[in-house]
Chains A and B, each alone.
Chain A
Amino acid sequence: GAVVSQHPSRVICKSGTSVKIECRSLDFQATTMFWYRQFPKQSLMLMATSNEGSKATYEQGVEKDKFLINHASLTLSTLTVTSAHPEDSSFYICSARFSSQYEQYFGPGTRLTVT
Protein backbone atom coordinates (compact mmCIF):
# COMPACT_ATOMS: atom_id res chain seq x y z
CA GLY A 1 0.00 0.00 0.00
CA ALA A 2 0.92 3.66 -0.16
CA VAL A 3 3.40 4.93 2.41
CA VAL A 4 3.46 8.30 4.11
CA SER A 5 6.38 9.27 6.32
CA GLN A 6 6.77 12.04 8.86
CA HIS A 7 9.90 13.58 10.22
CA PRO A 8 10.78 13.94 13.01
CA SER A 9 8.86 11.32 14.94
CA ARG A 10 9.44 13.14 18.19
CA VAL A 11 10.66 16.64 18.99
CA ILE A 12 11.16 18.61 22.16
CA CYS A 13 11.62 22.35 21.85
CA LYS A 14 11.71 25.39 24.07
CA SER A 15 8.85 27.81 24.35
CA GLY A 16 9.09 30.60 21.77
CA THR A 17 10.98 28.62 19.15
CA SER A 18 9.61 27.32 15.84
CA VAL A 19 9.41 23.70 14.79
CA LYS A 20 9.01 22.27 11.30
CA ILE A 21 7.40 18.88 10.67
CA GLU A 22 7.72 17.20 7.29
CA CYS A 23 5.21 14.89 5.65
CA ARG A 24 6.22 12.90 2.59
CA SER A 25 4.34 10.53 0.32
CA LEU A 26 6.97 7.98 -0.60
CA ASP A 27 5.48 6.05 -3.49
CA PHE A 28 2.72 8.20 -4.89
CA GLN A 29 2.02 11.79 -5.78
CA ALA A 30 -0.21 13.47 -3.24
CA THR A 31 -2.32 16.21 -4.69
CA THR A 32 -3.87 16.78 -1.28
CA MET A 33 -2.35 16.52 2.17
CA PHE A 34 -4.08 16.90 5.50
CA TRP A 35 -2.76 17.89 8.90
CA TYR A 36 -4.42 16.62 12.06
CA ARG A 37 -3.83 17.22 15.72
CA GLN A 38 -4.58 14.64 18.37
CA PHE A 39 -4.71 15.35 22.07
CA PRO A 40 -4.19 12.49 24.55
CA LYS A 41 -7.06 10.04 24.56
CA GLN A 42 -8.97 12.07 21.99
CA SER A 43 -9.88 11.79 18.37
CA LEU A 44 -8.13 13.45 15.45
CA MET A 45 -8.95 17.07 14.77
CA LEU A 46 -8.43 18.28 11.23
CA MET A 47 -6.31 21.42 11.23
CA ALA A 48 -5.93 22.18 7.54
CA THR A 49 -6.09 20.80 4.03
CA SER A 50 -3.44 21.66 1.50
CA ASN A 51 -3.42 21.17 -2.23
CA GLU A 52 -0.11 21.21 -4.05
CA GLY A 53 0.79 24.66 -5.28
CA SER A 54 -1.99 26.53 -3.52
CA LYS A 55 -2.62 27.98 -0.09
CA ALA A 56 -3.85 25.69 2.65
CA THR A 57 -7.45 25.77 3.81
CA TYR A 58 -7.60 26.02 7.58
CA GLU A 59 -10.39 24.72 9.77
CA GLN A 60 -12.25 27.13 11.98
CA GLY A 61 -10.32 28.02 15.10
CA VAL A 62 -6.90 27.10 13.69
CA GLU A 63 -4.53 30.07 13.50
CA LYS A 64 -2.94 30.12 10.08
CA ASP A 65 -0.18 32.47 11.18
CA LYS A 66 0.80 30.09 13.92
CA PHE A 67 0.57 26.85 11.96
CA LEU A 68 2.24 27.53 8.62
CA ILE A 69 1.63 24.92 5.98
CA ASN A 70 3.59 24.63 2.77
CA HIS A 71 2.79 22.06 0.09
CA ALA A 72 5.50 22.88 -2.40
CA SER A 73 5.63 19.59 -4.25
CA LEU A 74 3.48 16.55 -4.91
CA THR A 75 5.38 14.53 -2.35
CA LEU A 76 6.12 16.98 0.45
CA SER A 77 4.12 19.13 2.81
CA THR A 78 5.50 20.89 5.87
CA LEU A 79 3.84 22.18 9.01
CA THR A 80 5.71 24.84 10.94
CA VAL A 81 4.57 25.61 14.46
CA THR A 82 5.76 29.16 15.03
CA SER A 83 6.54 30.60 18.45
CA ALA A 84 5.55 27.33 20.07
CA HIS A 85 4.03 27.29 23.53
CA PRO A 86 3.39 24.41 25.93
CA GLU A 87 -0.26 24.27 24.89
CA ASP A 88 0.91 23.41 21.37
CA SER A 89 2.28 20.13 22.72
CA SER A 90 0.38 17.42 20.92
CA PHE A 91 0.57 14.56 18.46
CA TYR A 92 0.50 15.85 14.89
CA ILE A 93 -0.49 13.45 12.12
CA CYS A 94 -0.46 14.09 8.41
CA SER A 95 -2.23 12.18 5.69
CA ALA A 96 -2.05 12.26 1.93
CA ARG A 97 -4.14 11.17 -0.99
CA PHE A 98 -3.64 10.98 -4.73
CA SER A 99 -7.08 12.33 -5.55
CA SER A 100 -10.50 12.63 -3.98
CA GLN A 101 -11.42 9.22 -5.39
CA TYR A 102 -8.60 7.52 -3.53
CA GLU A 103 -7.94 6.71 0.08
CA GLN A 104 -6.12 8.88 2.56
CA TYR A 105 -2.94 7.32 3.87
CA PHE A 106 -1.68 8.41 7.25
CA GLY A 107 1.79 9.13 8.47
CA PRO A 108 3.09 7.70 11.76
CA GLY A 109 2.70 11.01 13.57
CA THR A 110 5.03 13.48 15.26
CA ARG A 111 4.94 14.03 18.99
CA LEU A 112 5.74 17.64 19.83
CA THR A 113 6.59 18.61 23.37
CA VAL A 114 7.14 22.30 24.14
CA THR A 115 8.90 23.00 27.42
Chain B
Amino acid sequence: GEDVEQSLFLSVREGDSSVINCTYTDSSSTYLYWYKQEPGAGLQLLTYIFSNMDMKQDQRLTVLLNKKDKHLSLRIADTQTGDSAIYFCAEKEGANNLFFGTGTRLTVIP
Protein backbone atom coordinates (compact mmCIF):
# COMPACT_ATOMS: atom_id res chain seq x y z
CA GLY B 1 0.00 0.00 0.00
CA GLU B 2 0.91 3.65 -0.04
CA ASP B 3 3.47 4.90 2.43
CA VAL B 4 4.02 8.59 3.13
CA GLU B 5 6.82 9.56 5.50
CA GLN B 6 7.77 12.79 7.20
CA SER B 7 10.20 13.75 9.93
CA LEU B 8 8.30 14.31 13.16
CA PHE B 9 9.72 17.59 14.42
CA LEU B 10 11.22 20.82 13.09
CA SER B 11 12.24 23.93 15.02
CA VAL B 12 13.15 27.22 13.39
CA ARG B 13 13.70 30.79 14.54
CA GLU B 14 11.16 33.44 13.67
CA GLY B 15 12.07 35.06 10.37
CA ASP B 16 14.04 32.09 9.07
CA SER B 17 12.82 29.75 6.35
CA SER B 18 11.31 26.36 7.22
CA VAL B 19 11.62 23.35 4.97
CA ILE B 20 9.38 20.39 5.65
CA ASN B 21 10.13 17.21 3.73
CA CYS B 22 7.98 14.29 2.68
CA THR B 23 8.68 11.06 0.82
CA TYR B 24 6.09 8.79 -0.71
CA THR B 25 6.11 5.44 -2.42
CA ASP B 26 3.16 5.52 -4.83
CA SER B 27 4.48 6.47 -8.25
CA SER B 28 0.91 6.78 -9.52
CA SER B 29 0.14 9.80 -7.37
CA THR B 30 -1.58 12.50 -9.37
CA TYR B 31 -1.88 15.17 -6.71
CA LEU B 32 0.23 15.94 -3.67
CA TYR B 33 -1.01 18.18 -0.90
CA TRP B 34 0.15 20.08 2.13
CA TYR B 35 -2.25 20.56 5.03
CA LYS B 36 -1.83 22.55 8.24
CA GLN B 37 -3.36 21.49 11.52
CA GLU B 38 -3.40 23.84 14.48
CA PRO B 39 -3.95 22.46 17.99
CA GLY B 40 -7.41 21.00 18.46
CA ALA B 41 -8.51 21.93 14.96
CA GLY B 42 -9.21 20.24 11.65
CA LEU B 43 -7.02 20.37 8.59
CA GLN B 44 -6.54 23.43 6.45
CA LEU B 45 -5.46 22.91 2.87
CA LEU B 46 -2.40 25.07 2.28
CA THR B 47 -1.44 24.18 -1.23
CA TYR B 48 -1.21 21.31 -3.66
CA ILE B 49 0.81 20.38 -6.70
CA PHE B 50 -0.08 18.29 -9.69
CA SER B 51 2.33 15.46 -10.36
CA ASN B 52 3.50 16.87 -13.70
CA MET B 53 4.75 20.06 -12.01
CA ASP B 54 8.15 20.59 -10.41
CA MET B 55 7.45 23.68 -8.39
CA LYS B 56 4.60 25.83 -7.24
CA GLN B 57 4.87 29.09 -5.33
CA ASP B 58 2.09 30.82 -3.47
CA GLN B 59 3.15 33.88 -1.45
CA ARG B 60 5.38 32.57 1.37
CA LEU B 61 4.90 28.93 0.40
CA THR B 62 6.99 27.08 -2.16
CA VAL B 63 6.35 23.45 -3.01
CA LEU B 64 9.04 21.42 -4.74
CA LEU B 65 8.36 18.02 -6.23
CA ASN B 66 11.04 15.55 -7.30
CA LYS B 67 8.99 12.86 -8.93
CA LYS B 68 11.99 10.67 -9.70
CA ASP B 69 12.94 10.50 -6.02
CA LYS B 70 9.31 10.68 -4.85
CA HIS B 71 10.22 13.61 -2.65
CA LEU B 72 8.02 16.57 -1.83
CA SER B 73 8.97 19.61 0.20
CA LEU B 74 7.24 22.68 1.58
CA ARG B 75 9.28 25.81 2.16
CA ILE B 76 7.81 28.56 4.32
CA ALA B 77 9.65 31.84 3.91
CA ASP B 78 9.92 34.33 6.79
CA THR B 79 8.42 31.86 9.25
CA GLN B 80 6.18 33.45 11.88
CA THR B 81 5.00 32.21 15.27
CA GLY B 82 1.56 31.73 13.76
CA ASP B 83 3.04 29.11 11.48
CA SER B 84 3.61 26.80 14.46
CA ALA B 85 1.42 23.79 13.75
CA ILE B 86 1.52 20.25 12.43
CA TYR B 87 1.99 19.96 8.69
CA PHE B 88 0.78 16.90 6.82
CA CYS B 89 1.65 15.95 3.30
CA ALA B 90 -0.84 13.77 1.48
CA GLU B 91 -1.00 12.06 -1.87
CA LYS B 92 -3.87 10.99 -4.06
CA GLU B 93 -4.04 8.83 -7.12
CA GLY B 94 -6.86 9.77 -9.46
CA ALA B 95 -10.22 9.57 -7.75
CA ASN B 96 -8.89 7.58 -4.84
CA ASN B 97 -8.67 8.66 -1.26
CA LEU B 98 -6.02 10.80 0.32
CA PHE B 99 -3.13 9.10 2.10
CA PHE B 100 -1.58 11.21 4.80
CA GLY B 101 1.96 11.38 6.04
CA THR B 102 2.84 11.11 9.69
CA GLY B 103 2.87 14.88 10.17
CA THR B 104 5.70 17.27 11.07
CA ARG B 105 5.33 19.43 14.14
CA LEU B 106 6.81 22.85 13.34
CA THR B 107 7.83 24.98 16.31
CA VAL B 108 8.76 28.59 15.65
CA ILE B 109 11.03 30.10 18.28
CA PRO B 110 10.54 33.85 18.82
Partner-B contacts on A (CB < 8 A): 1, 4, 6, 34, 42-44, 46, 49, 93, 95, 100-101, 103-109, 111
Contact = CB atoms under 8 A, between A and B. Distances in A.
Contacts, number: 39
A18 B45 CA distance: 31
B97 A93 contact: no
A44 B98 CA distance: 10
Enumerate the 10 nearest inter-chain pairs by beta-carbon distance, A residue then B residue, closest first.
A100-B95, A106-B43, A108-B42, A106-B42, A109-B42, A43-B100, A44-B100, A43-B102, A107-B42, A43-B103
Given A100-B94, A104-B98, A44 B45 contact: no
22 contacts: A6-B42, A43-B100, A43-B103, A44-B43, A44-B88, A44-B100, A46-B97, A49-B97, A93-B42, A93-B43, A95-B43, A100-B94, A103-B45, A105-B45, A106-B42, A106-B43, A106-B44, A106-B45, A107-B42, A108-B42, A109-B40, A109-B41
A4 B45 CA distance: 13
Contact of B40 (A6, A106, A111): A111
B59 to A, nearest CB: 16
A24 to B, nearest CB: 13
